[in-house]
A and B are shown apart, each in its own frame.
Chain A
Amino acid sequence: DAGVIQSPRHEVTEMGQEVTLRCKPISGHNSLFWYRQTMMRGLELLIYFNNNVPIDDSGMPEDRFSAKMPNASFSTLKIQPSEPRDSAVYFCASSLTKDTEAFFGQGTRLTVV
């Protein structure tokens, strides 16, 4: 398996624009997580899906952020409108179940100018 695949790897956008980040989890994994990493706050959960259903979205900063998982092999994280403070590295991770080893993608480095 190729592991967790994220796209794009880098995204530079202007403030106010819509940004969509994509993730393909490892086949057969039922749990999918979106995390954000910043220098100040480290790694923090944004949202957790189990069997394509959002279970914990307590980490989603505000209504500008939304995430979907239309099927077991694809998830998106959307920011609309984007702001400079959203600049960070966004990681997608998947695991067989929520109790098992988590595997991370390479991340998307987002810069909002």
Chain B
Amino acid sequence: NAGVTQTPKFQVLKTGQSMTLQCAQDMNHEYMSWYRQDPGMGLRLIHYSVGAGITDQGEVPNGYNVSRSTTEDFPLRLLSAAPSQTSVYFCASSRLGGQGDIQYFGAGTRLSVL
């Protein structure tokens, strides 16, 4: 019953460093997405994918890259971290069967950029 697994749970970076946030799901879901959650702003969509090899931008894509080489994995890359990227990041997955499909969220990665 793994569902959506995110690693690491916590990370501290210095400005300019790069890192990859990992996300894996074992439910064979076509749709995967990344959100960031900041106080008072809810969840904002960064990037999403409707299947392996297909990615697209969400509301706040700048400073982030994604790729989807397999159905299971959807890593999020920060190429040069900035303090403005301090946030809690959530990965989610769902089927693409129709509107209103359940989004399953991971437990989140708490990132601080100093």
A and B form one complex: no
